[in-house]
Homo-oligomer: A and B are copies of this chain.
């Protein structure tokens, strides 16, 4: 209803994706994605900043991720920002922000595939 929640990222996987098969044959994959940007400071020097994003993928996107994406792969990810709370080992409520993907485009020459959820 009157809402838009969309994230688009292009970056590289920080490590091989994690993949699990849940009950009912539902697959979930997760990975960290680094997006790097160049910017100039006041003196005109170029610096880079990297932001890390937690990506979660379900079903066919999880299979694709598991099959084709590896540490270092470059990928376009489109999805929704979701906040999830969980209890840490000390019983405290913790909050995480994740991007639940609904489209990915693999940007490495080796593989080439787009998929929609």
Contacts and interface: CB of A to CB of B under 8 A. Distances in A.
A74 B1 CA distance: 12
A80 interface: yes
Given A37-B114, A51-B81, A11 B7 contact: no
Interface residues of A, number: 35
A37 B113 CA distance: 10
A9 B6 contact: yes
Q: Is the interface of A mostly helix, strand, loop or mixed?
A: strand
B107 A81 contact: no
A10 B3 contact: yes
A53 B102 CA distance: 19
B3 A37 contact: yes
A108 B10 CA distance: 13
